[in-house]
């Protein structure tokens, strides 16, 4: 009884007794001794294609922290998932150097961060539901993310590296000299916005992707010229250009062997990098 009365009456004393640790520590970081682990992830681009002044210019690695409850909150936010930006937000959140704009990352570099954070957060085995390309049977399939390999781009014939983040391709049918660049998160956003507003037609998607990578054609870099070329180059040139892009773009290869449990069909399959990638138990 007398103790209770003391606590009610002498607020000062009670306050000190309730939080003896807090009075000796000035920040939560000092209060709790655990530290969120960080790791250095190898960039497929090795920083080669970032302009001078970009924080990743010539940087071969990037430091990220392990995912915490904060990042899980981002991944559970339904509205963010709907916008398809949850993974981008997570990537921005785990990058230690806050001067780096995650959207400015090249697509292949972002993929490397997505895979590394998934492995450190939930392990390397990714079990997901896939459809067999032959018999269409849906089945659970486990991919080992530790088998992902960096591909640093061996240029196909007819393509040269300009050394400034762009590449020159001579198109086999039209003979056009096309300069193209590697795509980053901003380009990806433009591509997905354009294809959504135009009704998401696959034809459109190819045109939009080609338009996004074009820098100049026969030294002409006006939007009108680039639009015209993106929409009108012969299919053979368009296929060549996409192959040229793939050969130039550093990436992380997550294609893995798939065997259908129903019909025995075997092929390599690209592991889907969707938001569900971060939910091993759902």
Contact set with Zn ion (CB under 5 A)? 132, 134-135, 260, 262-263, 265
When the beta carbons of 115 and 260 are compared against Zn ion, the nearer one is 260
The SS3 of residue 10 is: coil
To Zn ion, the closest distance from the beta carbon of 269 in angstroms equals 12
Q: In angstroms, rounded to a whole number, what is the distance separating the alpha carbons of residues 132 and 150?
A: 26
When the beta carbons of 104 and 128 are compared against Zn ion, the nearer one is 128
Q: Which residue, 151, 139, 165, is CA-closest to 253?
A: 151
Strand partners, 269: 256
- Which residue has tokens 């530290």? 35
To Zn ion, the closest distance from the beta carbon of 147 in angstroms equals 22
Three-state secondary structure along 105-131? CEHHHHHHHHHHHHHHHHCCEEEEEEE
When the beta carbons of 51 and 263 are compared against Zn ion, the nearer one is 263
To Zn ion, the closest distance from the beta carbon of 253 in angstroms equals 23
To Zn ion, the closest distance from the beta carbon of 256 in angstroms equals 16
When the beta carbons of 22 and 263 are compared against Zn ion, the nearer one is 263
To Zn ion, the closest distance from the beta carbon of 132 in angstroms equals 3
**Inter-residue contact 126 to 281 (CB < 8 Å):** no
123: alpha, beta or left? (left if phi > 0; alpha if psi -120 to 50): left
When the beta carbons of 137 and 227 are compared against Zn ion, the nearer one is 137
């Amino acid at each position: 009884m007398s103790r209770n009365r003391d606590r009610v009456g002498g607020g000062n004393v009670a306050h000190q007794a309730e939080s003896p640790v807090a009075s000796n520590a000035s920040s939560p970081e000092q209060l709790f001794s655990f530290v969120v682990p960080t790791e250095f992830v190898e960039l497929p681009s090795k920083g080669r294609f970032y302009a001078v002044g970009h924080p990743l210019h010539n940087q071969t690695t990037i430091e990220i922290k392990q995912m915490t409850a904060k990042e899980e909150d981002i991944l559970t936010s339904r509205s963010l998932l709907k916008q398809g930006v949850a993974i981008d937000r997570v990537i921005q959140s785990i990058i230690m150097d806050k001067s780096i704009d995650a959207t400015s990352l090249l697509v292949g570099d972002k993929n490397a961060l997505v895979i590394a954070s998934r492995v450190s957060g939930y392990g390397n085995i990714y079990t997901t539901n896939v459809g067999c390309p032959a018999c269409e049977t849906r089945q659970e399939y486990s991919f080992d993310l530790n088998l992902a390999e960096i591909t640093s781009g061996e240029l196909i014939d007819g393509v040269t590296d300009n050394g400034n983040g762009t590449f020159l391709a001579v198109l086999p049918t039209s003979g056009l000299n096309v300069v193209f660049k590697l795509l980053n998160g901003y380009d990806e956003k433009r591509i997905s916005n354009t294809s959504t507003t135009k009704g998401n037609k696959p034809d459109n998607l190819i045109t939009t992707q080609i338009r996004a990578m074009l820098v100049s054609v026969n030294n002409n870099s006006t939007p009108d010229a680039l639009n015209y070329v993106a929409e009108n180059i012969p299919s053979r040139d368009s296929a060549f250009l996409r192959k040229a892009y793939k050969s130039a773009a550093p990436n992380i290869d997550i294609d893995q062997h798939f065997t259908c449990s129903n019909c025995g069909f075997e092929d390599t399959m690209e592991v889907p990098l969707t938001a569900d990638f971060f939910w091993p138990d759902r």
